[in-house]
Amino acid sequence: MSRRNGPLPPWGVRPYVRGDLAHLPASTFSAEEYAWRFLSSPAAIGVPNVWYADTGEKLVGHYASIPQPFQLGDQRLHILQGEQSWQAGGYAQQPVVREIAAVAVEAWRAADVPFVWRLREGATPPSPLETWQQLQPCTWLWRPLRLGAYLRQKDQFGTISALGGGVGSVGNLVLRSGLRWRGRRITVAPVGHVDERFDHLWNVLSTHYQALTIRDRAWLDYRYRQGPVAYQLWLASHNDVPTGYIATRLLDYNGVRSGVIVDLFTAPRDDRSRNALLRTAMDFFVRAGALAMRLLVLRKSYVERWFRRRGFLRESVPSYVTLLPLRSDMPHPLMRDEARWHLMVGDFDLL
């Protein structure tokens, strides 16, 4: 496909080829992070997932999504997650990204990719495509770790900060003590190398869920170990048998140093492992100087209720899982029921 834009050089749409990274303009990601996110996934869809508008001399637009393994009922699918796009400033009045997206989506549909999904938040830029469907509502939960320091960063009321700090310290002490007791007999250890224990864990836990990203060794190694982003990863075990894991990241969020629970994976009602993993993450966040901790959950899910009972509060920004169906059987009925899902922010390319 080619477009001629008045005095601007004509451009055509083509997929990524080796060597394109050297010609990418500055964008959201460094070349290293771009290569990791878009070109290193262990999932394969059979056609390119990265597409460009090219004048023959330079790239003037880009549209890409990340291949991802996904379990839906008894099906193992390779889908696409998220969308990232840009176009050259001189082409701002031209439908460059929309044209690239249209070509890419037709190629993905022809390759029988079931769907593209993404997380839509209040600040998420609009999509060049107009056929996204809202699928599941989500919410961010948060809990202060050092309430006094948190309030001092948010306001100037010393008395309120001091009172809040005392209450928050007592509340966190009670929570951590409860987590230690309820997580007894579970051993939690940091993970350096993602090994065969995670394949065993996936084979056991995946039977409990019907709609989720496939969290096997290959995916977790790509997601949390291969890239330039620093994640912490811990594995929970009982009598040397893996029972779950947690992945975290430290971020500055609205000026507040926060610990984010990027992923937490256990059997649905394995509260003992979940308690032990949360206690480990909480201790790490406190040592690292975080003032609050956050995570994304599905609204009305068991996981949301579990964290709300432990003092986590809802944030006000609405979030939704949205779906771009590429097959007539999507969205599958299983995807309409939040009880069938396991979903965390690590399923998306936001962090």
Same domain, 107 and 205: no
**pLDDT digit string, tens, across residues 227-251:** 999 999 999 999 999 999 999 999 9
b/e per residue, 276-298, with b = 16+ CB within 10 A?
A: bbbbbbbebbbeeebbbbbbbbb
CATH number at residue 238: 3.40.630.30
Q: What is the mean pLDDT of residues 149-168?
A: 48
Same domain, 72 and 20: yes
Q: Half-sphere exposure of 132 toward its Cβ, with a 13 Å CA cutoff?
A: 21
Strands 313-314 and 319-325: unpaired
> Rounded to whole angstroms, how far apart are CA atoms 101 and 37?
18
Number of domains observed in the structure of the chain: 2
Same domain, 154 and 294: yes
Same domain, 100 and 151: no
Q: State which of 55, 79, 113 marks the end of a domain.
A: 113
Position with higher pLDDT, 134 vs 254: 134
> Rounded to whole angstroms, how far apart are CA atoms 273 and 188?
9
Q: What is the pLDDT of residue 28?
A: 66
Same domain, 175 and 300: yes
* Residue 24: Cβ-neighbour burial (10 angstroms; 0-12, 13-18, 19+): middle
Please provide the average confidence, as pLDDT, over all residues in the chain.
89
Same domain, 150 and 18: no
Same domain, 177 and 36: no
At residue 170, the 3 state secondary structure works out as helix
Alpha-helical runs (H) found in 212-296: 217-221, 271-287
In a domain? residue 133: no
**pLDDT digit string, tens, across residues 28-63:** 678 888 999 999 999 999 999 999 999 999 999 999
> Domain range spanning residue 56?
2-113
Same domain, 96 and 197: no
**pLDDT digit string, tens, across residues 286-295:** 999 999 999 9
Same domain, 91 and 145: no
Same domain, 194 and 312: yes
Same domain, 144 and 251: yes
Most confident of the following: 72-76, 92-96, 147-151: 72-76
In a domain? residue 127: no
**pLDDT digit string, tens, across residues 91-102:** 888 899 999 999
